[in-house]
Amino acid sequence: MKLYDFALAPNARRVRVFMAEKRLEIPVVEVKVRDGAMFEEPYRSMNPFAVVPFLELDDGTCIGESVSICRYLEELHPAPSLMGRDPRERALIDMWNRRVELDGYLPVMHSLRNADPAFRGRVVPGTRNDLVQFPEIAERGRDMLLILLERLDAQLSDGRFLAGGTFSIADITGYFMILLADRTGVPIPDDRPNVARWYEDVAGRPSVRDSS
Amino acid sequence: MKLYDFALAPNARRVRVFMAEKRLEIPVVEVKVRDGAMFEEPYRSMNPFAVVPFLELDDGTCIGESVSICRYLEELHPAPSLMGRDPRERALIDMWNRRVELDGYLPVMHSLRNADPAFRGRVVPGTRNDLVQFPEIAERGRDMLLILLERLDAQLSDGRFLAGGTFSIADITGYFMILLADRTGVPIPDDRPNVARWYEDVAGRPSVRDSS
């Protein structure tokens, strides 16, 4: 098994934190993303969606998508659990991970790509083209993040972590959402104390501290 | 177990097609979405994210998010498999479902909500507020869909379904993406014959025909 990634990419860091929590060591191949290496062979055939990270199995199968990689690793190494120990818990963690990812992480990622000049010419992940940056997409990403943070603050008034008492993949996704938001100039608002407390808690974990 | 949904919503239809493929019958409660019923009790406490569908278990637990509901049903009723029969297959189906959902289904859903006057005042799912519709988000949704359809056409040159030879949840997500795109005025382009062939194949399944 080999993991192809790019150390600075938030999606690559999500998978590395997941691996560190499970104490998994998998050989890593650094892809020269800034040189566009993922658009060239051998990477293009391995992952036609031209993003990192992706996981190559020993039979040559390539699994893309950070969460799908984590799902595969969770099945092979179920302890410590990061995605749930029974069908009900797995469904609830999946639900919280999706809420964070679809309502926050992705809108903020698109926000950054539509605002930061460094992403000109590659506004949509895995593409190189002349699509322009739209400030409106950056604005809507902030709107959606603030709606989500209000909901997460309510959820976190009840439990230590996003899916309840146990650290899970939803917290990893949430942590990197806050980091990305910070890069777009949106810190955690003062009136979301539970989110702020949770973020500091997650940021202090060795797996997270060592992932940068 | 009870499923709370709204017959016309694409996300509710995704779950109903999934259930029909497995011949599952679960009591359905129709939520009066157009009257804003999901912002009122008892629904607000059951699902604070104020969207449908969600699944209520016999112990009162509520599972939101279409794919998380399907994941739970798949674990309870693994045959016929729609999410994979072993870790490798599950990871690959999850990957294709995510590619379709993140790069197509969601951008097109946001496109529709930012273009159709019927969605004024509820541009972001699960909210009622004064966020304006941005034509730029509608445009970018179309851009992203066309990029994805080129990639799916290549994938479908090799296999009957999106994740290979077997019908899966990725095909259900993909089918409703095409339906949503059609509502935004973007039909399958003429130069994507494999997508067109696959779409007709999926549309002809009894589970899909009977879901509307």
Best CA proximity match to B2, nearest among B34, B39, B30: B30
Dist CA B33 CA B36 (whole Å) = 5
In A48-158, alpha helices (H): 66-76, 87-100, 106-113, 135-155
* Strands of the sheet with A62-64, listed across from one edge: A28-30, A2-5, A54-56, A62-64
Say whether both B26 and B103 belong to one domain.
no
Sign of CA pseudo-dihedral B20, B21, B26, B29: negative
pLDDT value of position B92: 98
Nearest neighbour of B63 by CB, restricted to A48, A92, A106: A92
Say whether both B121 and B153 belong to one domain.
yes
Say whether both A102 and A186 belong to one domain.
yes
Nearest neighbour of A88 by CB, restricted to B57, B95, B143: B57
Residue whose structure tokens are 């590659």: A122
Say whether both B112 and B202 belong to one domain.
yes
* A210 pLDDT above the threshold of 90: no
pLDDT value of position B212: 75
Residue whose structure tokens are 């696959």: B198
Hey, what amino acid is at B85? R
Tokens standing for B41? 């009790």
- Chain B CB within 8 Å of residue A49 CB: yes
- Check CB contact under 8 Å for A65 and B127: no
**A4 has which bridge partners?**
A29, A54
Say whether both B124 and B105 belong to one domain.
yes
pLDDT in tens, A72-104: 999 999 999 999 999 999 999 999 999 999 999
pLDDT value of position A160: 97
CB-CB neighbors (< 8 A) of A57 in chain B: 88
CA angle (A101, A106, A112) in 5-degree steps: 140
On whether residue A82 sits in a domain, the answer given is: no
Say whether both A49 and A10 belong to one domain.
yes
pLDDT value of position A211: 84
Nearest neighbour of B98 by CB, restricted to A68, A72, A137: A68
From A82's Cα to the closest Cα of chain B, the distance in A is 15
Which residues of chain B are modeled with pLDDT < 50? none
* A143 pLDDT above the threshold of 90: yes
CB-CB neighbors (< 8 A) of B70 in chain A: none
Say whether both A69 and A120 belong to one domain.
no
CB A156 within 8 A of CB A194: yes
Helix (H, G, I), strand (E, B) or coil at B197: helix
Dist CA A55 CA A62 (whole Å) = 5
pLDDT in tens, A15-68: 999 999 999 999 999 999 989 999 999 999 999 999 999 999 999 999 999 999
From B211's Cα to the closest Cα of chain A, the distance in A is 24
From A190's Cα to the closest Cα of chain B, the distance in A is 22
Residue whose structure tokens are 């934190």: A17
Say whether both A159 and A200 belong to one domain.
yes
pLDDT value of position B81: 98
Q: How many domains does chain A have?
A: 2
Which CATH number characterizes residue A193's domain?
Answer: 1.20.1050.10
Say whether both B143 and B119 belong to one domain.
yes
On whether residue B212 sits in a domain, the answer given is: no
Q: Which residues of A88-112 are buried (b: 16+ CB within 10 A; e: fewer)?
A: bbbbbbbbbbbbbbbbbbbbbbbbb
- ipTM for the predicted complex comes to 0.97
Say whether both B59 and B107 belong to one domain.
no
Q: Which residues of B108-128 are buried (b: 16+ CB within 10 A; e: fewer)?
A: bbbbbbbbeeeeeebbbbbbe
On whether residue A7 sits in a domain, the answer given is: yes
Which CATH number characterizes residue A9's domain?
Answer: 3.40.30.10
Out of A15, A44, A76, pick the residue that ends a domain: A76
On whether residue B82 sits in a domain, the answer given is: no
Q: Which domain holds residue A30?
A: 2-76
Tokens standing for B31? 């939520």
From A14's Cα to the closest Cα of chain B, the distance in A is 16
